[in-house]
Each structure stands twice: as C-alpha cells, then as structure tokens.
Amino acid sequence: MTNRTIYLDHAATTALDPRVLEAMLPYFTQQPGNPSSIHHPGRTALQALDDAREVVALALGAKLREVIFTGGGSEANNLAIKGVALAQQQRGRGNHIITSAIEHHAVLHAVEYLAQFGFTATILPVDAHGFVRPADLRAALRADTVLVSVMYANNEIGVIQPVAELGAICREHGVPFHTDAVQALGSLPVNVQDLNVDLLSLTAHKFYGPKGVGALYVRRGTPLLPQLNGGGQERRRRAGTENVPGIVGLAAALSLAEEQRDWYATHCTALREHLIDGILERIPGTRLNGDRAQRLPNNANLAFDYIEGESMLLLLDQQGICAGSGSACTSGSLDPSHVLTALGRTPEEAISSVRFTVGKAVTHADIDQVLELVPGMVARLRAVSPLSQEHAATLSAVET
Ligand SMILES: *Cc1c(COP(=O)(O)O)cnc(C)c1O
C-alpha cells in the first residue's frame, strides 16, 4: 500500500518550486504595475521584466532582444512556425517547411494549419531508436524551404536529437532552424550558439515554474511576423500586457534549474535506470521505447505486451502512482501515439506503452514501490486480455 502520491508524470508538468512562488508573490499584489506605464509601479514592473529577460538570455547564450515572452510552449511553437513561415512567404522565399514525425502537436498542427496558406511540408521519419537522420534532412532541403523545425528532446520517449548537427546543415543552406526545447530545460545544456539554432521554445511549467508562461528565442535577423496583434509589447512581436508574475516565476525557475542541472540529471538518471532495469528484469514481454542512452535523464517509456497502457494508468492511479501514456494531450483517446508508431511500433505495441517520468522529489524507495506493484498489475491485465491468452506460453513466468 502506498500512503502518498508517487508522481511520475514530470513530462506533463511539474509542481511549482516554493522558492519560485516566493519570487512571484510580490508581483500579484504589492507590485501590480503594467510595464508599459510611465509611473513608478509601471517602472518597477518593467525592471522585473528586464531582469527576467536577462536571466533567460544569459541561460541560453542569447541577447536580451532575442527573447520573447509567451503564454507557454505551445504559443512559442506557434509563433516560431507561423511567424517565420509567413514572413518568409511574404519575402518570396518559398512555401516549404521541414519537420519531424515525432514533434509535439503544437508544432505538427501549426505546420498542418499552414497548408491552407499554400505551404507544403516534408515530415522527416525517425529510425527505430527515435532519431532523425541528418542525411534525411540534407536530402529534404530545397531552394524553396523556408523553415526547419526539429525538437531537442521528445516528450513521449525522451530521445535527444542531434540538434547541433541538424542546425549546422540548415545554416549551410541559409534556412532558419527552430527547436522545441521544452523538455530539455533543466536536464540538458541549452545554449543557442552551441546548438546552431535560430529559434528555440521553452515553457516554465516543465522545470518547476508556473503554467501558462514560456519564451521563444529568435536570433537577430530572423524574419518573424507577430501572431498576436495589439500593443507594441515584446518589441512588437507579441502584443498583450506581459504576465509579470509568471515571467518573474519563469526566470526564478530557470535560475534554479540551471544551478541544479548537474545534480538533477544525475538524480533522475539513477532513478530512471533503476526503474527500467527493474521492469525489464521482472516482467517478460516488456521493452523500452526509444534509445537507451541518448534520452532525457527522467524518461522511461515502456511497452507491456498485450495490455492497454490506459488500463495500467488506472491501476497505478488506484495505488497513488501517477504515470502517463503517450502524451498528456491525447490521453483519453485510444489513438496510438504518433511518436511510437513513427518508431515502427505496431498500433497494439503503441497502445501498450506507459510513460514514467521521474523528478526532483522522487526517491529510490518510490521506484522500489513501483517495481513491487507493477508486475502484479501487468499479470492482472494480461489475465483478462484475449491477446495474452494466445501467447500464454511466452508469458508463463508472469502468470504463476
Ligand atoms: C509540454 C510541451 C509543449 C507545450 O507546452 P505548454 O506550455 O504546455 O503549451 C510543447 N512541446 C513539448 C515538447 C512539450 O513537452
């Protein structure tokens, strides 16, 4: 029996760090100014905004004016994709976009949306480990390619892409390169110079900051049309009164995340390895989805043959264990994950997968607890699965 919640869904969101809340609080009540106002409270808010921008710029290796605050990761991705594509089209540069099959829907659906404005897209496949091949990008680039978008680390399987190499190829061809780095912040080094990127998305709630606030890095000189029109905020690239408490929280969370990055990566990797080894050793008919080595420190995505991941999530939840299936955004639908099918998993295999993502407060004992409970759950689900009856012989170890 568990007597507390074991939260293993950090890829979906993380809990606000109390120190971040502390930093945000004054900007709700004591310092309510609008950064665009000329008076003293306005100037105080503007100062907070400038300070936050400096923290983000410093962390990314960017200039202050290259950082645009947004309402989260989805908005940053939409601004990057639509903003660059439409600006490039306006300049007569072409209508062709390249992205990958395993992107977050905030990228894939933004690219699909652009079809009605005459854009076409090449969707790069991934190999069985989940990697985009640089040679495929090279082959897909055309004279009319206006933007390439490939994520840094995947939210479902945690696989880390060769972003610096992909970025170098884009630069050779003079094509702007965007990366969705939402899952990477706090776990991996994220320097826009080292990564050869022109645009990069991040969101605070994936690194113990508040929800609904993010940022887009845009390299100086990259064409970008604003996607929100109104006031002149964010150097006319994103209208609307800035979310000052949220932005202060984003910066505070980012500072902490950068400070703790080595510790965090080591802590999470140890828990992840314990979990992966434990499950693969204890339960026949299980496999890790995505490359074992080049993956986020906190991600263990596992396929359990002949069961439905969603049913497993419910059994886990009854024991106070929170995990995820494909992605938080599509749970509730029984469509197999587009990421797992892109890896070459069959729809049945994709549906049988569960994503565990560890974090700051997770302990070795928590993982022990999970390892104690999961084999029984898998046995229960397989006992009622018609598919597993047919394959009973290979699973006999579990049924006893
Ligand atoms: C969570 C996530 C997003 C969306 O960010 P929101 O702030 O929730 O809009 C985008 N991309 C990836 C890879 C994510 O994990």
The answer to the question of residue 106 being in a domain is yes
Same domain, yes or no: 190 and 316: no
* Angle (nearest 5°) at CA 163 between 158 and 169: 150
Element (H, E) at 256: helix 244-259
d(CA 245, CA 302): 38
Residue 375 Cα to ligand 1 midpoint, Å, equals 31
Same domain, yes or no: 51 and 183: yes
The answer to the question of residue 79 being in a domain is yes
Same domain, yes or no: 204 and 252: yes
Residue 286 Cα to ligand 1 midpoint, Å, equals 28
The answer to the question of residue 392 being in a domain is no
Same domain, yes or no: 207 and 165: yes
Same domain, yes or no: 153 and 277: no
Query: Known catalytic residues?
Result: 329
Same domain, yes or no: 79 and 209: yes
Rg value, the chain, Cα? 22
Same domain, yes or no: 278 and 360: yes
CATH number at residue 379: 3.90.1150.10
Which residue among 81, 203, 243, 298 has the greatest number of ligand 1 atoms within 8 angstroms of its CB, and so is best to mutate? 203
Residue 328 Cα to ligand 1 midpoint, Å, equals 10
Same domain, yes or no: 77 and 122: yes
The answer to the question of residue 394 being in a domain is no
Same domain, yes or no: 86 and 224: yes
CATH number at residue 204: 3.40.640.10
Same domain, yes or no: 192 and 208: yes
d(CA 293, CA 307): 26
User: Final residue of a domain: which of 257, 288, 305?
Assistant: 257
Same domain, yes or no: 58 and 205: yes
| Domain total of the chain | 2
Pocket of ligand 1, beta carbon within 6 A: 72-74, 77, 104, 106, 151, 155, 180, 182-183, 203, 205-206, 214
* Angle (nearest 5°) at CA 307 between 131 and 338: 30
Which residue among 155, 156, 298, 357 has the greatest number of ligand 1 atoms within 8 angstroms of its CB, and so is best to mutate? 155
3-state secondary structure of 55: helix
The answer to the question of residue 61 being in a domain is yes
The answer to the question of residue 396 being in a domain is no
Ligand 1 atom at minimum distance from 75 CA: 9
User: Final residue of a domain: which of 233, 257, 281?
Assistant: 257
Residue with tokens 């419910």: 314
**In this structure, how many other beta carbons lie within 10 angstroms of the beta carbon of residue 187?**
24
Same domain, yes or no: 301 and 361: yes
Q: Which of 89, 90, 128 is nearest to 287 (CA)?
A: 128
pLDDT in tens, the chain (400 residues): 446 899 999 999 999 999 999 999 999 999 999 999 999 999 999 999 999 999 999 999 999 999 999 999 999 999 999 999 999 999 999 999 999 999 999 999 999 999 999 999 999 999 999 999 999 999 999 999 999 999 999 999 999 999 999 999 999 999 999 999 999 999 999 999 999 999 999 999 999 999 999 999 999 999 999 999 999 999 999 999 999 999 999 999 999 999 999 999 999 999 999 999 999 999 999 999 999 999 999 999 999 999 999 999 999 999 999 999 865 445 555 689 999 999 999 999 999 999 999 999 999 999 999 999 999 999 999 999 877 767 766 665 554 3
The answer to the question of residue 122 being in a domain is yes
Domain hosting residue 326, numbered range: 6-13+261-385
